[in-house]
Structure 1
């Protein structure tokens, strides 16, 4: 596996839609696979202000379980092993040093943030971006209305995502966990990880400082 999409995120926890979106993007772009890159827990709690977060160890174990039956899926713990949340560009460079040719896979919700990320526009110019529609947002409209993105649009590939894959909601999974709605959980997460999801592993905890992407 060499030509890959790098899928960064909390995966708190990963859902059926996460997996289906990743595989859809892989097939549409002709890549060999998708590398899932889970973020540090303190970054999820502090910067992203999630209501709660599974530990890095738990999210890694869940992703690895999913990868066992999906030959196109890889998981790396390189961000979890760092003392603070790395910049996305730094992690992409690390993947390249390991022999991969990665492009960044992200959703439309991240596009407006990119101009404020460190190491821009180098990240887009060196690695390229594959953008998948999330919610009702239009990738093309967002790019055309943003001067920074408009100048780099030749390095951004847009994928028209099937409607049934547009809403990825880990927060809905966490809510169903707390409320004990097993039927809802079975619809949102793959069967093989249901037994790994326990609301007792969702402490809100303190919110230590963390770095942005």
Structure 2
């Protein structure tokens, strides 16, 4: 059975931190592929700063083209909005019964996992790979951290944020080192985030 790891996000824009993390997971776990699932709308995020879905998908496709085990996925584009992870997983299991799907999430998301739609089902039926994040959290008592399907990995911590990158672009600052070269070229020739 092919093992697919799902990395959900708005990727607004995808940056080198995302690629470093994805590559680390592919090289240090038993996953066969990692799919960047471009989310049309995260129920917990404001939509006004989001680039159009197809622009964000284009950037992810450009970013992963030289990584044979990384893919861009638009699976959520055809699903009801807002997108809930459990609904996407149900759809993927029906469409690809020969694959097993795991999730990756930041340590900060693990803290709020109990608020997710059908969190118990999610954790019971899927492996969750948790990567470290730097964030202010006084009470690191995660509900699912000891669950057999949750594994915390020692991935490198890359303190880059798409929000910060968008702000720098708006201010006319150089963001070239923070983006995959193809994504930088794509944005450089546009008015995106300006």
Shorter-chain TM-score category?
A: 0.7 to 0.9
How far did residue 114 of structure 1 move? 0.7
C-alpha distance after superposition, 1:119-149 (max 9, x if no partner): 12111111120000011579xx83xx23x32
Determine which structure has greater relative contact order: mean sequence separation of CA pairs < 8 Å that are 6+ residues apart, divided by chain length.
1
Task: Work out the CA distance in 2 between the residues paired with 1:195 and 1:189.
Answer: 9
TM-score of the two chains, using structure 2 as the length reference: 0.87
1:79 aligns with 2:76: yes
C-alpha distance after superposition, 1:88-132 (max 9, x if no partner): 011122222323211010001101111111112111111120000
Asked whether the equivalents of residues 53 and 202 of structure 1 are also in contact (C-alpha less than 8 Å), the reply is: no
Asked whether the equivalents of residues 36 and 71 of structure 2 are also in contact (C-alpha less than 8 Å), the reply is: yes
1:97-112 paired onto structure 2 within 5 Å = 97=94, 98=96, 99-112=98-111
How far did residue 200 of structure 1 move? 2.7
Task: Work out the CA distance in 2 between the residues paired with 1:14 and 1:68.
Answer: 13
Query: Which residue of the partner structure matches residue 201 of structure 1?
Result: 192
Which protein has the bigger helix share? Answer: 1
Structure 1: which 5+ residue stretches go unaligned? 204-213
Task: Work out the CA distance in 2 between the residues paired with 1:136 and 1:82.
Answer: 31
TM-score of the two chains, using structure 1 as the length reference: 0.80
Structure 1 window deviating more from structure 2 (116-125 vs 12-21): it is 116-125
Query: Which residue of the partner structure matches residue 159 of structure 1?
Result: 153
Task: Work out the CA distance in 1 between the residues paired with 2:34 and 2:11.
Answer: 14
Structure 2: which 5+ residue stretches go unaligned? none
> Moved runs in structure 1, 4+ residues, more than 6 A?
none
